[in-house]
Structure 1
């Protein structure tokens, strides 16, 4: 007879394999990466599956499809995410597991979706034994950006700027290339590539005509490219460099940043890398919609009017937006400060 410890060990081992399968799926898009392992009553692996992207079979259904009818009766399904409970392009996975005769379901993290959650309750109502939270920390880490976007109904917002010791982002004549050195610039491009989208305001488009691409040291495009997003009411010129980006630019007014972020989340954007300029960074900071600051500081002084951040509407020190340092990195002659807000002033 299987002991509790043995069962917990088998659940964890199967979940680790499900996590490996999940990582085979696409890291970007509306849907999460999910893996599933189906075990026989004796603990042997009957089938494995993972989700390959929007419109394809979910991990549970993918695994079940590899079995003969009736082969999953009495089995245990180990899934990284709570089986869904809604009908979209595919049917509810909770129902598919019940119909297949699965006796037990083990999952790591609850589904935070308004429409897709509730699978565990549906399984229990059908008499299926459900265990939650197995290797939850590891799965949470893997699904970090997707879970944040699903729970917050918006992408994670990372605001970046490069500045001198006196917080200037450009000289008096407007020149800003280059405040920081090559190591810092390479780090920026690596982080661009890791983000789903990169954003600037129309002021930056007119002033700098940025390409908003992620490039290597030789100027070649990296394999992963963020979707370019431009905030502002002015029309982007037809010959702007952003129109030559590998992805079609997303144009948003910026009049309601919260609503704009919800729209980006609906488009499958999980992380937004805000690059410029000071007007856009200030708008995100003032509304409390910043989840991480990346401040590249060069050992130089410029003086003048071009500050990294404009007026935040703060009149007294007690109302200061407070952050905590998450990391401090030396990049050549420059320093990167990574900071997270201790509170969101906008209540988000």
Structure 2
């Protein structure tokens, strides 16, 4: 059974795992704390970027010789395979770690089995400490393995009174340049951006990720997906240019729901089968409402501008909520000031 010191260390590891959110895809967010044989912290670390050292390796380097005979607290089961970096199980065993406590079992069949490898090296292993907390931080990576569909983040921009555009339909620019630059970084951190045909017809968005928010493209671009049930995406729409890949997803190709529209669950399954794991939903209120009604949103990132319009479309359309008792409740995970705007990050509250 985990000791009090191990509980404290795992709590710290969970905190560390959250430091690199939106910079690690397609890798998981992992934190690690090394306790020396005396139970005091010898080293800590987190995984910062794909191709970089894993959290265990960073923590072991910080701990040095103090790791021998100590305990590693890791938010995800240490990997047992060699990818761009070596297996963490070997690094831990070679450093003389005597005990490993991890929070969440690795669901990736390529990397799973680390616990068994460590035990074969004579390392004492315990699983499940603060598993829910660690899984919440790493939900973006875990969700595709657990659901067979990509993790979906709904991003929206709105005024303080919840309007996504003015009465005349104009929406550029509700938020400031700092928020718009952040959105480009969000796009660069996912492999898929989804909008509806209505947004393409009304606003003609480009949807590529640009490093200066205007012209300079990121080296890797997400797939641009237009949900187009009635095949009305204009031939000259900017999303059809060659700066990023594009898929005009029609009901005939994806499959239709009972209303004849693109079946969103089938769309996400198709994206998963294409190897897509992270979706940024940037569609208008109708598409956003449909995703919520289908229960397909995993995270919200809202940019709220200190402005009032009093009329115009709301950020969220019909979402299947008919009464206060049926409201979609969220847990706020972060609130920050971005220029003149407020960024609110939240996740759907688990039903009990």
Same fold (TM over 0.5): yes
Name the TM tier (shorter chain): 0.5 to 0.7
Residue 70 of structure 1: aligned partner: none
How many angstroms does 1:236 deviate by? Answer: 4.8
Distance 1:168 1:246 in 2: 30
Where do residues 104-143 of structure 1 align in structure 2 (5 Å cutoff)? Answer: 106=100, 108-113=102-107, 115=109, 116-121=111-116, 123-124=118-119, 128-132=123-127
SS in 2 for 1:276: coil
8 A contact 1:82–1:108 mirrored in 2: yes
Residue 287 of structure 1: aligned partner: 294
How many angstroms does 1:113 deviate by? Answer: 1.1
8 A contact 2:285–2:314 mirrored in 1: yes
8 A contact 2:163–2:314 mirrored in 1: yes
Where do residues 195-206 of structure 1 align in structure 2 (5 Å cutoff)? Answer: 195-196=189-190, 197-206=192-201
How many angstroms does 1:162 deviate by? Answer: 2.7
Residue 273 of structure 1: aligned partner: 280
How many angstroms does 1:343 deviate by? Answer: 4.2
Distance 2:26 2:154 in 1: 22
Distance 2:246 2:214 in 1: 21
| Distance change >3 Å, CA 270–CA 216, structure 1 → 2 | same
8 A contact 1:193–1:225 mirrored in 2: no
8 A contact 2:72–2:97 mirrored in 1: no
Distance 2:329 2:131 in 1: 30
2:153 equivalent to 1:146: no
Deviation string, structure 1 residues 285-340 (Cα, Å, up to 9, x no partner): 1112222251524223235xx33322223333322222344455555655444443
8 A contact 2:78–2:89 mirrored in 1: no
Residue 213 of structure 1: aligned partner: 208
Where do residues 1-348 of structure 1 align in structure 2 (5 Å cutoff)? Answer: 27-32=23-28, 81-84=76-79, 106=100, 108-113=102-107, 115=109, 116-121=111-116, 123-124=118-119, 128-132=123-127, 145-178=140-173, 180-182=174-176, 185-194=177-186, 195-196=189-190, 197-215=192-210, 219-221=214-216, 223=218, 227-233=222-228, 234=231, 236-237=233-234, 239-244=236-241, 246-253=243-250, 255-265=262-272, 269-290=276-297, 291-297=299-305, 298-303=307-312, 306-329=313-336, 334-343=341-350
8 A contact 1:165–1:299 mirrored in 2: yes
8 A contact 1:58–1:93 mirrored in 2: no
Deviation string, structure 1 residues 171-217 (Cα, Å, up to 9, x no partner): 34432223x242xx421331331331322112222322211133466
**Please, which runs of 5 or more residues in structure 2 have no aligned partner?**
38-46, 57-67, 255-261
CA RMSD of aligned residues (A): 5.5
- Higher mean C-alpha displacement, 240-249 vs 277-286: 240-249
Q: TM-score, normalised to structure 2's length?
A: 0.61
8 A contact 1:192–1:198 mirrored in 2: no
Distance 1:292 1:237 in 2: 29
8 A contact 2:154–2:280 mirrored in 1: yes
8 A contact 1:279–1:310 mirrored in 2: yes
**Please, which runs of 5 or more residues in structure 1 have no aligned partner?**
42-49, 61-73
Deviation string, structure 1 residues 48-106 (Cα, Å, up to 9, x no partner): xx99969x99999xxxxxxxxxxxxx999969542457x8989x969989x99x89563
How many pairs align? Answer: 317
